[in-house]
Each structure stands twice: as C-alpha cells, then as structure tokens.
A and B are shown apart, each in its own frame.
Chain A
Amino acid sequence: NAGVTQTPKFRVLKTGQSMTLLCAQDMNHEYMYWYRQDPGMGLRLIHYSVGEGTTAKGEVPDGYNVSRLKKQNFLLGLESAAPSQTSVYFCASSYSTRGRALATEAFFGQGTRLTVV
C-alpha cells in the first residue's frame, strides 16, 4: 500500500519556468490538499479539493493552480516560478466526513523540495 506519493522529490527551477507537482493516493480518499512548508511558518494550505472535479483556495493560493481530474490524483502547477516559491511542498489526503460523526486523519506524502533560482 503506497499511501500518498509525491513526484518529483526534488526540483530546481529557474525563475519564470513552469512545472507541475503530482500527488497520487491509493486509499480512495475524497479530500486532497497541497501545503507548503517554510521555516518558522508551519504548514500553509495552498489549495484543497473535496472531490473529483472540485478545488478550492486555501490560505496562500496566489501563484499556484490545481486540478483534480481523477479522484486519486491532485496536481499542483506553478505557471511562472518565482524565488518566493522556494519551499517544501506536501500533499495530503483524507476521507470525507460529510454525514459522519467522526473526523478523520489526513495522510501525508514525503514532500517535494523545490528551489527556484
């Protein structure tokens, strides 16, 4: 059981370049999330998705786009990378709790370390 898999694990981009980070989960989770982690800032939510074909903005969405065309995949795109987007990016997934009494934990990938020069 792979859980949550992120690709790539490392990447160096030049300013202005574009790239897509892929997150794949094999747990049939409805919810998926993208975070960035910077020193002293904790995890900040970029975008999230509560189901296939739906996405929503999180705390820091500017400069990023996302797509959830398939339930198991959540893509994070940087159209024109900037040095301020140098960070470690984490993807996570969880079950939906709509109609359920209990909350549910999120499972995290191992992270993608992105450097924009």
Chain B
Amino acid sequence: SQELEQSPQSLIVQEGKNLTINCTSSKTLYGLYWYKQKYGEGLIFLMMLQKGGEEKSHEKITAKLDEKKQQSSLHITASQPSHAGIYLCGADMNYGGSQGNLIFGKGTKLSVKP
C-alpha cells in the first residue's frame, strides 16, 4: 500500500552488521506492527508499537515509533543468517480506533551473507 512506505525495498548485509528498515505513513497511526515472513511461509508477529516515542526490543531487534506516530524504524544489531526474510510493517488506517482496515507496506527483503 502506498499509505505505508517502506525503505529500503531490499537489503543485503554481511553477517554481523547492523541494519535499519524504515516505515513511514502520511497519517497518524493508531498502532504500528512489524512482522517477519520467511520465504513461502506465513507472517510471524515481531512487535507492536502504539505510543509516540515508544521503543521495544526482542533479542537483537529493536523497533521505535516516533513522537508524531507517523514513522517507525526496525533495527537489527549484529545480523545473522536467521534474520533473513521479508519484513513488513502494518497499521490500521482508521484513525481513532481499530476498525479492521489493517494494511501493510510493500516489505523489505533482507538477505544476510555468511
């Protein structure tokens, strides 16, 4: 969806390097979700951010939501081959409360070279 812009579209990094994926919206977001998808499989939930300035971490992945709640970043520290996959950000675009209009960005394809 063009309402959620992800960058970069693809990323190749050397194992052990850090990387950042961005997700930007023109609207204020009620909730911002990050999912990971391994090739040919379903989506795995990573994190959800709701408050402006919120930051969450899980293992080596950290996600942040800016104060305006329009931009989020996903940062991976010391990348590993297991981090490879497609990362998608998603958000409910019905401002003021979730009403089911859950859309996603186009995804960022991450490859990690051993």
Contacts and interface: CB of A to CB of B under 8 A. Distances in A.
A103 interface: yes
B37 to A, nearest CB: 9
Contacts of A35: 104
A75 B49 CA distance: 30
Contacts, number: 84
A103 B103 contact: no
Interface string A32-43: 010100001111
Contacts of A106: 33, 45, 90, 102
A44 B88 CA distance: 12
Interface in A13-59: 31, 33, 35, 40-45, 48-50, 56, 58-59
B108 to A, nearest CB: 10
A94 B91 CA distance: 13
Nearest to A43: B104
B44 to A, nearest CB: 8
Interface of B: 1, 6, 9, 30-31, 33, 35, 40-43, 45, 48, 50, 88, 90, 92, 97-107
